[in-house]
Amino acid sequence: MTRPKILVTELLGPKGLEYLRQYADVDAHDLLPPAELPGLMDHYDAIIIRSAHRLTRELLQGHPRLKVVARAGAGVDNVDLEACTEFGIAVINAPGANAIAAAEHTFGLLLAVMRNIVAGDAHVRSGGWNRAAFLGQELHGKRLGIIGLGRVGRQVSRIAHGFRMTVSAYDPFIAPEIFQAHDVKEVKKLEDLIAESDVLTIHTPKTGPRLTEALLRRLPQGAVVLNVARGGLIDEEALARLLEEGHVAGAGIDVFSSEPPKPDNPLLKLPHVVVTCHLGGSTHEAMVEVGMMTARGVLEALNNQTPPNLVNVPIPDLPEQHLRTLDRMVRIMGHIFSRLNPRFDAPLVLSTSRSLNPSVLPWLKQAALAALLQDRVDERVNTVNALLIAETQGVSLLVEQDYRGDEEPRLRLRLEGQANTELEMAVHQGVLTLKKMAGIPLELPWPERALVTRHHDAPGVVGRVGTLVGRYDINIGQLYLGRRGPHDEALMVLTLDTDPPETLLEELANFPDIDAVYAFSGF
């Protein structure tokens, strides 16, 4: 298999580069001049950028080799997501790789503000020793309000519990179970959270709520405000006014609406404000994790897998291993079903067991369509653009939850009204298990290589197949049989140690009583 070729336009970190170079040919730059990027777009399967380059629609269009673009960081503001989705280009980022760093920096600013650390340092350096002038406040017992309980917000809550703070949060996109798991009180209205927060910190993307003067005035007298998320989420002039009035006691600001902040920014002139230059995620450990998370995501996407840091696909909030297992199951099922059913002459129906959370369904639909269509169209199709390609092909897929069955993750795929097309797989004790194929019950752990025959249930078929496979010096690991009934349609699945050659498949297809032969591998 040809190794993919990857362009890295800015510093990624030695560990990330080392990981990429194990599996791909990599051209890495400390800083590629942006003017040189357009001339290189045709030569790479993946491109990794940071902040110095913008991947616009015009730049992305017309490069069929390009499959993946990645930003080695949390945001993707400099990537045209709509264009990438249209062109079937997977977009990767590194969300949460710096979550611990950002959460720790949040508390670094908070302690600096509440314990007068910066002012106290300057005072001592100038020869002073007036302890009474720098009387601070404890975090113990203070009410912390978190706007955004994502990766960073959750890390902030963990640290806050260590200081014995009471923690509340507002996040309309997070399930109640997440609040409960992190021992955080859920507040349904942003205004209510602000009104009960001695310390208010925001950890949302740029699309999060903006803290206007009207909202900030709801804070209790003497509150502290922190922003280690995105510039522009707080009305900086309004915050400065509340600080001057004494309504807000202090602020810790790492990000600004304009960076670097303009010299006349009022926050820079106030004594109870501690500012830093967008250092929230800047630790050695975070930089290593950003590089590694980006590298892993790029390579998985190049292998048609679903990395958890894929941006332009609705990735479900699942443990990483669960997502990988479900992703593999969908890819296997889509490929098998497409081979067994050359014509989609009815709508497709994918049923899920009750053990799968409904939040999985949007991603599941795209992943299933990608697997079903991958071998049926000439253009690139993947989870990113599967909905668009399916629409052009006139293929429809209904995803529904079917509450029959047990608690095992289980999927059933069929053509509507055609029970004899049903394909079913489940995760049994962590193993992908085939339960039904072409409507015929089977029970086998899905192997690395499988030889499948559809045949008439008649004496001698199994023996003739086994004999011929042996003549090709191919070892059979296991043999599984299923049938609709005596002397009716039957299936045989052989697990093989090596891939069968085309000549073997052709000979088998010519056997009496054998209707079709399939070889599956590479999952």
Q: Is the pLDDT of residue 358 over 60?
A: yes
Catalytic (active site) residue 259: yes
Catalytic (active site) residue 506: no
Q: Which of 259, 379, 416, 506 is catalytic?
A: 259
pLDDT digit string (tens) for 371-393?
A: 999 888 877 888 888 888 898 88
The pTM for the full model equals 0.69
The DSSP code for 43 is G
Fold of 5-95+286-312: Rossmann fold (3.40.50)
pLDDT digit string (tens) for 234-277?
A: 999 999 999 999 999 999 999 999 999 999 999 999 999 999 99
- For the purposes of burial, counting CB atoms within 10 Å of the CB of 407, is it exposed (0-12), middle (13-18) or buried (19 or more)? exposed
Q: Is the pLDDT of residue 403 over 60?
A: no
Q: Which of 115, 241, 278, 456 is catalytic?
A: 278
Catalytic (active site) residue 213: no
Per-residue model confidence (pLDDT) at position 406: 58
Q: Which of 105, 154, 230, 412 is catalytic?
A: 230
Architecture (CATH level 2) of domain 99-275: 3-Layer(aba) Sandwich (3.40)
Q: Is the pLDDT of residue 409 over 90?
A: no
CATH number of this structure's domain 447-523, picked from the four choices 3.30.70.260, 3.30.2310.20, 3.40.50.300, 3.50.50.60: 3.30.70.260
pLDDT digit string (tens) for 97-121?
A: 889 999 999 999 999 999 999 999 9
Percent of the chain with pLDDT over 70: 99
* CA-based torsion, 368, 374, 379, 381: positive or negative: positive
Per-residue model confidence (pLDDT) at position 288: 92
Phi, psi of 412 (to 5 degrees): -130, 130
Phi, psi of 361 (to 5 degrees): -60, -45
Domain locations along the chain: 5-95+286-312, 99-275, 315-445, 447-523
Rounded CA separation 430/408 (Å): 9
pLDDT digit string (tens) for 12-69?
A: 889 999 999 999 999 999 999 999 999 999 999 999 998 889 999 999 999 999 999 9
Rounded CA separation 198/195 (Å): 9
Q: What class is the 315-445 domain?
A: alpha beta
User: 239: closest CA among 206, 217, 207, 263?
Assistant: 217
**Residue 360: pLDDT band with limits 50, 70, 90:** confident
Rounded CA separation 315/326 (Å): 12
Tell me whether domains 315-445 and 447-523 share a fold: no
